[in-house]
Structures are given as structure tokens and as C-alpha cells.
Structure 1
Amino acid sequence: MAMANDGLFREARYFTPWQKPKQYEEFLLPTELQEVTRQRHIKFGDCVLQANDTSIASEMCEELFTPDCPSIHLGLDGVEIICNSSASHWELRKLSRRLELIKESSKKGGSIYLYSNQQGCDGSGREYYDGCALIIVNGEIKAQASQFSLNDVEVISATVDLDDVGTARVYKARSMQASREQAYPRVELDSVLTDQNPLPARQISPTRDAVIVTPQEEISLGAGCGTIFGAAARVRGVFLPLSGGVDSAATAVIFYSAVRLVFAACEAGNQQVIKDMRRVCGEKENSEWLPADPRELSNVIFHTCYMGTSNSSRETRARAKALANDIGCYHIDLNMDAIASAFTSLFTSLFPQKKIRFKSAGGSNQENLALQNIQSRSRMVLSYLLASTLTWVRDRRDGGNLLVLGSANVDECLRDSEVGAISKKDLAGFLRYAKTEFDLPIIESFLEATPTAELEPITDKYVQSDEQDMGCTYDELGTFGTLRKIDRLGPYSMWQTLCTQWTHLSPREVYKRTRFLWHYFGINRHKQEILTPALHACQYSPDSNRYDLLPFLRPPLTWAYNKIEKALAEHEKKQ
């Protein structure tokens, strides 16, 4: 009756919600089904299943998140068991909200709530569904499934006392509201679901605390599971350009976390995971090979490459090599100056009177940007060349392609990058966690380093910096993304809010920052329309394909800017 039709989901494309609350229609069954069921009609609609000893009903995924959720009205009409079959995608810090909604609904109305959730990836490659089935009685958790797992199916059970529901409902305010509740139609079920023995053989399941992992563990497990499901579907492993910076290091460690999950499932004897692992590794069907440790498995399916140029530093090259060694992946270290030189030589042959130069050598901004783009775009082409050939180079039995992983973060998407799902701040937190959890001390050097693309020459007076290139800090980008998408603020409202948050800046400086961010978001908006699918993990993702349907041809924001300037003039006049 309520459908997810914003954010990642467009359920109204395929379905029409039921528009008749507490009503049903009778459908005539096909002749074949009449013979099997011995009935002519079936009831279809908003009903309650009434057994001889209890009543059962359901609310669907999105209905749980609505203000007027069905479970409250079902409880007021006497329904004791409420089921929810859900497809709720993983998102950082989202499980707490799901738990709060279910516990509050069950506690407020008094009910047994059975919640199941899809686990694994859907066909789009963007969402990972994180499971975490629940059995909750009157707001208390009786059973909770794992949140992240490589199992295809996970079943939980609990023994509960139906009388506890009746006891929780005995208070005047609820009784008054229940007396006004219009009844749901019942579908009779001539069956008993409870144990009728006056002395039950099984003990009631105890209440347990909710298991909620930290955001750092969520990235490790959630992004790890999502990545491994994507890789296992169609390729023989993955390829990652490893630059020696935080973003590519985080991507590498996330996939290494996925490798560890697969190894643990193999050790536990999960036959489906073992079968899939051997297929991805190129093993024959009758193979009995199992990796001795995660690093051995990593070396078979995980490939990285440091694509250096004359602008690269020894430090980033060494960091990339050390991390690759620690996680056991197959690593290549190369110089690609010849590729960049080929492009500049071709340009010179076309325009002999022009010599293209970096800004540090006296070139213009256009020349400088063009020379940087040659390197970054060439790395992309080289990545796909290696991803298509490395299994052949390594004499893997059946060859096959590798999945190319990107490594930008969602904050950079807001500025001008092309892929991303996790904020820079969350990535750094994850790396600090992984440093200890995975015994990777080399990560500390990544965290201490200044983020840089290393696309310009390093001089005594200049070292390229990502934040300097972007014209803002990653913290500012994260704040902008949250206010723009989650809080739905335009330039004027955002400026007002930031004036109260960025108190170290004057209102006019805040205006300059706000206008700068909106300008670059607008001129790069078209890139979000053709994003390579990224695993969704953040609410302010600018991915237009599924999540952000704002117009990509952004009109000038003159009205908002004029309003800010008018307010600034009045403020400065008073000052």
C-alpha cells in the first residue's frame, strides 16, 4: 500500500499500490487451481489471516518507514503476529533506524514482529542487501540474524509466549483507541499455531541486545560483501590501479576484507562459496583446491598496478608496493611516461608552432589541465588493457577478464570526479580500523600523506594537492553534500546554515564558499548521468541514474545569489 518511489527505488514503474484499505476483492481461480484447492474464489486485498488461536498480518518494506504504518492499526485491531518481508538495502548507519522503527512499532502496539530482509546483491550492482532478520516481542529482541553474510539462506527461530502480547496491551489509552479502530476483514484459517500443552517443553527465548557494528566494520563487511558478489558474478578476479593514496588504498583493503570473508566461509565449509571461489579462480569443476590463507587467495584473484610517471614520487610508489605485499595481491610497478610523450609528440606534429607545457614551466591553465588529463585518461585505457590480458599473462587455465575497480570517494563526485560511494571521512576511519584489525601497519603512512593526484611536476616550491586543486576541503565537500541532498537546501538556505556552522569564516567568506561549491556541482552535473555503477553506501550520493533525479542542466542561480548579497549588504551595514 506504500511503495518505495524515491532514492534508489522506482517501484511505481512496475506496480500500483493497493488503494482500498481494509477491503478485499474476490478473484475467480483458474479451473486447474479450483480442482487442487477445492475452492472457486480467492480473497485478495488488505486482510488479516485468522487462525483458531491467533491472528497474523503483514506490512511491507516501505510501509514500515511511513508515518502511519499499517502495523499500528493492525495491532489496534487485535493482530498479534506481524510479518515484514523486506528488501532494505545497506547504507552506512541505516540498521539502527530499522531497529528503532521495528522495536517502537512492536512496543507501542504490543505485538510479535517477524522481520526478514533480502541478503546479497540485486541485478543493478548498486545495492547490497544486508539481511539481519529479526524476531521482536513487545519491543524486545528475541533473535537476530547476521547483518553481513555470504550464506544464500539464513534461518533464525525463537520460542515466544503469545500471552505476553495480551499483557502488553492492557492499558486504558490503547483500549480507547482500539475501540475506535475499524476492523480488518478476516480470512479464516482452520489451524492452531501455538503449543496447547499447559507445560511447554521448550523454554521461552531470552531477550538479547541488538548487534550493531561500527561504521568502520560496516564498510569492511558491507562493501566487502557487495564487491565480492559483484566480482563473483561474471569475472575471474579484479584489477585496481593502486596510486599510493588513501582512496585506492581503501578500495584495496575493502576488497582484501572481501577475500578474508570468502576464506572464512571456505574454512567453515560453505560449499556454495567454495564452488564459486574455485570458479572465479579458474579451477576445474572436479578441483579440490583450497587456499591456505587469505593472502594466497588474494594473489590469485586480486591484481594491482602502480602506474607511475616522472611526476610520481618515490613515497607513493613505495607505499603502493608495501600495501600490495601485505595483502598478498599480484602487483605490477610500471612507468608510463612513453604513453604521455606519445600524445605530446602527436600534438607537436599537428601544431609545430606550439609547445605544450605545465603551469610550473610557464604554461597556461589550459595546457596544464590537458597534460594532467593525458595521464589520468591513459591510466584508464591501460587499466582495461591489463584487466583483459593479465589472466592470459599469468597462464590461468581458462583466461577470462578482470573487473576494473575505481577508487574515488563520494565527496569528489560532488566536485568533478566520476565514481564514488563512501565519504573521505568514513574511508579514513575505515583505514584506521583496518590497520589494527587486519594487521596492516603500512596504512598509517597513507593516512599521514597529503592527498595528491601527482599529475604535475614536483618542484622545490610546489607539490600538487587534491584539496588545493578542488578549491575546498573534503570536510567542506561532505558538509555540502549532506546539506544539498539530505537536508534539501538550496544556495540561500545553505548559506544561512553554514553561517552558523562555519563560525571561523565571515558571512561573506561563507557565501564565496557556498557559491563556489554550487558552481562546480552545476557544471559537472552532467557527469553524474553516466556514472559507472558504484556500490551505494551513502545517502548523499549524486548518482543520477537511480538516486538523484535533479535536472542535470543546471539553470543560473541568480535569484538565490542576489538574495544572499542583499542579506549580506544589510548585515555589513549594521556591522
Structure 2
Amino acid sequence: MGHLITLATCSLNQWALDFEGNTARIIQSIQEAKAAGASLRCGPELEICGYGCLDHFLEQDLYLHCWEMLERILTDKSCHGIILDIGMPILHRNNRYNCRIIALDSKILMIRPKLWLANDGNYREMRYFTPWERPQHVEEYYLPRKIQLIQGAVKVHFGDCVLSTPDTCLGFETCEELFTPKAPHIDMGLNGVEVFTNSSGSHHTLRKLDVRLSLILEATRKSGGIYLYANQQGCDGDRLYYDGSAMIIINGNIVAQGTQFSLNDVEIVTATCDIEEVRAYRFAPSRALQAVQAPTYQRIETKFSLSSDADDIDPFIAPSPKLAPRYHIPQEEIAMGPACWLWDYLRRSKAAGFLVPLSGGIDSCATAAIVFSMCRIVIEAIKAENAQVIADVRRIAGAFEDEGWLPYTPEELCKNIFHTVYMGMEKQSSVETRSRAERLAADIGAYHTDMNIDTVFNAEKNLLTQSTGFEPQFKVHGGSATENLALQNIQARTRMVTAYYFAQMLPTVRKRRGGGSLLVLGSANVDECLRGYLTKYDCSSADINPIGSISKTDLKAFIAWASDAFSLPILNEFIHAIPTAELEPIMENYVQSDEADMGMTYDELSVFGKLRKEAKLGPYGMFQRLVHEWKDKCSPRETAVKVKRFNHFYAINRHKMTTMTPAYHAEGYSPDDNRFDLRPFLYPPFFESWSFKKIDDEVDRIEKRAAK
């Protein structure tokens, strides 16, 4: 028996409930793995139905369709001759389990349910599935009748078992299990398992890959082994982007790593490994002493070998070399993650393109730059002859051109699918913002429209005067704060209505064949959402928002990076512009400023957001932390004022998050109310709260102590 084995893992761009499409991608991945000489193929978590099915996991239809698709895979002879690790949900004894199907040559060898479920942040697996809280326990599962006919048997093994081949032993983990303190691979490795698979549905968050990668490397660094990591890649139908990065590791070293962001629907990663390296790595007597005390796993036997006979091995085949891990810097992650997510959303929604209300500020600028980045990625895929991308481009953008047309530059593609609208006001909008918007649109090739909305604003404003005789005024003209805010909100909400009107009509204006409307993109960043510094139902209300979970600090860094990376020097002008909503009249001695209005900087907002969500601190805990961290820039009383101001405005504006545009998930402190950040939206007044009283008492104590 030989000792070299070629293994395959993959990233698949699956789509929730796209049963036939998902199955076709699974079969393609198996065929490509076989073509690469692999004897084992590992796929993503819940790959047959898609990971993001949410409450559809409670429907009986879903389980039926998964079995029907598995039947299609099992009976496809092009999928024979290779061990398959396939993900799907299974109903067993009236309980729902997230499972791995281990199959070979149309036969199911075993079914391995997930032991530990992801149930925090964006994940709600405990809502749908039951964890298999019976380590090393195995029982019988009765197969559906159609599968029994293929299997030639009524039942198969179901539980926490491993697969034994003549040349090695395989164990299986699923996503969250890797992240637990006592991961299953520890006991499996001590029990003699040499090859591990991990099938994941892991989403992108800025700076997250290095954490995930360190855990995967550590899985075999202590006690050796070969580890295959598979993941979804793309928009599964929700706010998350699954960021691929399929990889193969041996003894703590990477030997194959796939892309993190890609427009490929199927990406296979293969490596040739030497099993003898694992056995040599496991030489330590201390490991052996733990191994004899480790729990025993039931081994399911198969006669299929992962390696070839020694006489059949190609003498020119050698183990895959070690590789350095590949990471993207955060600016590249922002350029690529939301861009790939936008492309998936556009092509799957069958929309005609995108529209962005381009204000001349950095947020809408960043949104436009991400769309331009998407066009750059699409053009690269066209050059690489990606058939799916070419077909999608011709269907979406080709409706403006002759049949068979293809763009050759990002600007050419942008011209057909990206629309920008500057909606100014005669006295509120500056020449600078209007000019920046127009020149940015021209540089990236977008179809740009410039207009003023004074007529609509005045018509709405005059309704109150005609009905009541009262004429509201801006603050700079002597009006009250209530009047000032109401007049600003008319403008903001008018822009939302206008954006949707143009999104519906511009394809008609441009004589697009087949009609269709544009998707309106929002441009509210995570810090504005957190603080509530936006108008409810204004142009922050859109179809989707690529920057809704990205901080202003990261967006500025992205724009600075993109000005060089995308050869767009105009982006530098946006970085140095003062953030302003331009909703109040510009006066000789007054220009509206976001940070002045909020009473805090965007950098401070990021700090508050991370303390609130990631550090899990309330107002008093925030103050205790920041009174030390900010001691060189703020007095304790100044820190207290900032902490109380943030928590007050967070609380009174929390209701806005219940209606916010679905946003690409990127930051760990996103205030997304729909799934990630579940909190009340009607709070008691924080200024009367016990936590604020505690802050005041602590400030008094600190100041009295300092005065002694």
C-alpha cells in the first residue's frame, strides 16, 4: 500500500433553496476533484439546500428535496470512485440534525450529525437543529424508500463515528465544532484518525480570516494530521457573504489554500499528502499516553483506499509543498467582499443594475467605489473566460447593447449597470459636493443625473403653511430645533422617493430591452446607524446596503487605498472633505458638520460600538474602561459626558434600526436589528437610569480623590 494520497476540498457558491443549482455545483466539484486525482472530496456545510434557509429548515419539503437531490448525486456514475463528504439536514426520530453524508459508489457509508451548533451573532442553528450530544454514540438510521433501493439496505450507521479505510482513518467535523474548547478532532486524533474534514458555512467579517486560520492550523499543530477545510463562497441569499478560503493543512502547515473572494461558482482545492508524515509527527510519548486513555470511536469499514498501491504510484508525484498563509488587508476585504456580494445579489435578483444617490460625501463615494470594484472583478472574470459571469453580464448589461456584446473595461460595464443621481438643493448644496459627485461618476463610467429638488421640497413644506398658517424656518433663519429638524427630514425623505422613482424609470429612459428596474443602494455606515444619525425612511432606506456594517474609519482607509489601487485620484478629495449632511442652508459663518451635530467623532463612535457589542459593556462599564484609556485626552467628567451622550442617542434612535436597509455584514459591532444585534427598540430614559447615576457618582469620587 502506498502512502501518498491526493485530497480535495472546495468552496461552492450555493444559494438557499436552489436545490437543482446547488446539486449541479456539487456534482461539478466532484468531477473536478476526480479529474485532479483526488480520492476524497469534502464540501461545505448544508450544501445541498444552502446554509441560509433559516425557517425553511422547519419545513418538511426541504428534507424531501434534499433526499431527492442526494439521490441524483448517488446515481450519477461520474461521482463514483471517490469518497464523498456531503452536507444536508436530516430528520431522525422526529429531530432535525445538521449532517454529513459520507458516501462511496452510490452507497451511504455513514451519517455524521453535528455535535455542537453555532448559536450566537448571525447564527441560530439551535432554532432549527438538535445537537448530537452523545459523543461516540452510534445508532441506526432508516433510509427513505428510494434510497433503500439504491443502498440495497434499509438502514445505515448514524452518529459520532469515524471511517476506516485499508490505509488510514477519517474523522469529520462541522464548522462550529472547530471553534469549541474541546474540539472533536482532539479525541479523534488521539484515537488514530489521520485525516479530518471540516465542512463550514462561515461568513466574512473584517479581519476574521486570521482567527479562523489560526484555529485550523492549531487543529493539527499539536498532534498531527491532515485537515481539509471546505466553505461556502458568495451570497447565499442574505446579508452574509461566505468567504471561501478552502484549504488543506498537514501537521500545522498549509499545503493548499483557495481564494477568499471570487466569482467562481465552483472552486476545487487539492493537495497530495504523505500519511507517513503524520505518523512520524506523532512520536511524542506524552501523546501516546493520552491516546491510550482517549475515548474509543466506532469505526465504519470500507475496502476503498485513499492511496494507490506502491507499484501504481507515479514516481514523479510528490507531496504538495508548504505554503505561507494568504491574507487580505482590510482595505482589500472591503473592496472585494461587498463587491462579490453585490454581484451575486444583482445576478440572482434579475434586476437591471444599481442606483446610488451620490451626495459628494465619503459614504456614497465608498458605495460607488465598491460598485466600481465589482465591475473590475467582473472584467477579470470575463478575461479568465468564466462562462457563468459572461452569461450573466450579457443578460444584465447586454440589454443596453447588441446581442453578443461584452465589456472590456470596468468603466464600460459601469456605464451600463451603474446609475448615480445627485439630488441637490439651491441653498444647502455646495458647489464642491456637486462637482465631486459629477467627476467621480465620470471617472468610473457611471450614468450620472444631476438635479435640484427645491420644487418638491417647497411643495411639501408649503402644505403645512397652507393648512395651518404656520411657516417653519431653519435654525439659521431663527427657527426652533423642531422646525430645523423637520425641514431637514423633508429633504432627506424626498431623496428616497426620488431615488426609487429614477431607479424604476432610468432603464426605460435609456431604452433597455426587456424593462426591469434598478436596485437602490444605501450608503449609511455602521457608525451612523449605531448613533442613529440619519433620517428614518430617507435615502438610507434602500434595497441593500454594501457599507451598512463598515465603520467610517475603515471606509476612509479603503478610499485612500482605492485612490491608488483603482487609479482614481479624485477619491482623495472625498477623504479631506468635512463630513456633512448638507440639510441646512450654507451661511457665510455656518456650514453643517456631522461630528459637530453628533457631539462626538466617528473614531469615538467606533470605540463605543466595539465596547457595546464586542466587549459587552453597558454605560457604566464603558465609562470605567474609557476613563483609563482616554485619560490623556479627556478628563473623567468629559469622558462621562461622551459616554452618556452616546448611550442616550443610541437608545432614543434604536427604533430606526428596525427599518434599516439589509446591509452586508462586515463589522463585529454592527447594530443590525434583524438578526445580529437583538435588543429592545423602546428604552427607558438613560438620563434617568441607574447606570448614569453610577457614572455620576464615580466621576464625583474621582474628582474628590484628585483634589486631595
Fold in common (TM above 0.5): yes
* Matching of residue 534 in structure 1 with residue 681 in structure 2: no
Superposed, 1:23-62 pairs within 5 Å as 23-30=137-144, 32-62=146-176
1:153 offset after TM fit, Å? 0.1
Q: Which moved more, 1:549-558 or 1:278-287?
A: 278-287
Q: Secondary structure at the match of 1:159?
A: strand
**CA spacing shift, 1:340–1:556, aligned 2, 3 Å:** closer
Number of the residue aligned with 1:563: 694
**CA spacing shift, 1:569–1:388, aligned 2, 3 Å:** same
State the one-letter code of the partner of 2:359. Answer: S
8 Å CA contact 2:353–2:517 kept in 1: the answer is: yes
Number of the residue aligned with 2:26: none
State the one-letter code of the partner of 1:336. Answer: I
**CA spacing shift, 1:242–1:182, aligned 2, 3 Å:** same
Superposed, 1:56-455 pairs within 5 Å as 56-124=170-238, 126-197=239-310, 200-201=314-315, 202-234=317-349, 235-283=351-399, 287-310=403-426, 311-352=428-469, 354-416=470-532, 417=534, 420-455=548-583
**Equivalents in 1 of 2:328, 2:143: separation in Å?**
48
**Equivalents in 2 of 1:385, 1:32: separation in Å?**
52
1:298-349 CA deviation, whole Å, 9 max, x = no partner? Answer: 0000000111102100000000011000000000011111111111221210
Q: Secondary structure at the match of 1:157?
A: strand
**Equivalents in 2 of 1:237, 1:100: separation in Å?**
39
1:36 offset after TM fit, Å? 3.0
**CA spacing shift, 1:366–1:110, aligned 2, 3 Å:** same
* Matching of residue 519 in structure 1 with residue 648 in structure 2: yes
Number of the residue aligned with 2:131: 17
Number of the residue aligned with 2:610: 482
TM-score by length of 1: 0.97
1:223 offset after TM fit, Å? 1.1
**Equivalents in 2 of 1:87, 1:316: separation in Å?**
42
1:286 offset after TM fit, Å? 9.7
Q: Secondary structure at the match of 1:261?
A: helix
8 Å CA contact 2:237–2:345 kept in 1: the answer is: no
**Equivalents in 2 of 1:480, 1:23: separation in Å?**
46
**Equivalents in 2 of 1:544, 1:434: separation in Å?**
30
**CA spacing shift, 1:567–1:120, aligned 2, 3 Å:** same
8 Å CA contact 1:236–1:282 kept in 2: the answer is: no
* Matching of residue 553 in structure 1 with residue 666 in structure 2: no
Return the match for 1:8 from 117, 122, 128: 122
State the one-letter code of the partner of 1:520. Answer: F
Q: Which moved more, 1:421-430 or 1:31-40?
A: 31-40
Q: Structure 2: which 5+ residue stretches go unaligned?
A: 1-114, 541-547
Q: Secondary structure at the match of 1:180?
A: coil
**Equivalents in 1 of 2:395, 2:147: separation in Å?**
42
Q: Secondary structure at the match of 2:399?
A: coil
**Equivalents in 1 of 2:149, 2:468: separation in Å?**
83
Q: Which moved more, 1:502-511 or 1:365-374?
A: 502-511
State the one-letter code of the partner of 1:518. Answer: N
Q: Which moved more, 1:242-251 or 1:33-42?
A: 33-42
State the one-letter code of the partner of 2:700. Answer: A
Over the matched positions of the two proteins, sequence identity in percent amounts to: 51
1:553 offset after TM fit, Å? 2.2
**CA spacing shift, 1:366–1:519, aligned 2, 3 Å:** same
1:66 offset after TM fit, Å? 1.3
Q: Structure 1: which 5+ residue stretches go unaligned?
A: none
Q: Secondary structure at the match of 2:269?
A: coil
1:28 offset after TM fit, Å? 3.2
**Equivalents in 1 of 2:501, 2:705: separation in Å?**
63
State the one-letter code of the partner of 1:65. Answer: F
Say how many residue pairs are matched: 573
**Equivalents in 2 of 1:246, 1:231: separation in Å?**
23
**Equivalents in 1 of 2:383, 2:305: separation in Å?**
42
1:372 offset after TM fit, Å? 0.5
8 Å CA contact 1:119–1:128 kept in 2: the answer is: yes
Q: Which moved more, 1:173-182 or 1:83-92?
A: 173-182
* Matching of residue 465 in structure 1 with residue 580 in structure 2: no
TM-score by length of 2: 0.79
**Equivalents in 1 of 2:175, 2:133: separation in Å?**
17
1:235-275 CA deviation, whole Å, 9 max, x = no partner? Answer: 01000000000000000000000011111111211111011
State the one-letter code of the partner of 1:464. Answer: Q
1:284 offset after TM fit, Å? 9.6
1:465-498 CA deviation, whole Å, 9 max, x = no partner? Answer: 0111112110110000000000000111110111
1:174 offset after TM fit, Å? 1.4
1:500-544 CA deviation, whole Å, 9 max, x = no partner? Answer: 111211111111111110011111112212222111111100001
Q: Secondary structure at the match of 1:155?
A: strand
**Equivalents in 1 of 2:662, 2:285: separation in Å?**
53
8 Å CA contact 2:227–2:248 kept in 1: the answer is: yes
Number of the residue aligned with 2:639: 510
1:18-67 CA deviation, whole Å, 9 max, x = no partner? Answer: 12111011123455544432334210010001111101111111111111
**Equivalents in 2 of 1:510, 1:327: separation in Å?**
43
State the one-letter code of the partner of 2:589. Answer: K
**CA spacing shift, 1:162–1:568, aligned 2, 3 Å:** same
1:232 offset after TM fit, Å? 1.7
1:233 offset after TM fit, Å? 1.8
State the one-letter code of the partner of 1:543. Answer: D
**CA spacing shift, 1:30–1:408, aligned 2, 3 Å:** closer
8 Å CA contact 1:220–1:254 kept in 2: the answer is: yes
The structure with the largest strand share of the pair is 2
Q: Secondary structure at the match of 2:267?
A: coil
**Equivalents in 1 of 2:478, 2:234: separation in Å?**
53
**Equivalents in 1 of 2:143, 2:211: separation in Å?**
41
1:282 offset after TM fit, Å? 4.8
**Equivalents in 1 of 2:362, 2:672: separation in Å?**
22
**Equivalents in 1 of 2:509, 2:526: separation in Å?**
34
1:285 offset after TM fit, Å? 12
Q: Secondary structure at the match of 1:158?
A: strand
8 Å CA contact 2:400–2:416 kept in 1: the answer is: no
**Equivalents in 1 of 2:290, 2:559: separation in Å?**
51
**Equivalents in 2 of 1:40, 1:452: separation in Å?**
68
1:176 offset after TM fit, Å? 1.8
**Equivalents in 2 of 1:312, 1:565: separation in Å?**
41
State the one-letter code of the partner of 1:491. Answer: P
| Two-structure CA RMSD over aligned residues (Å) | 1.5
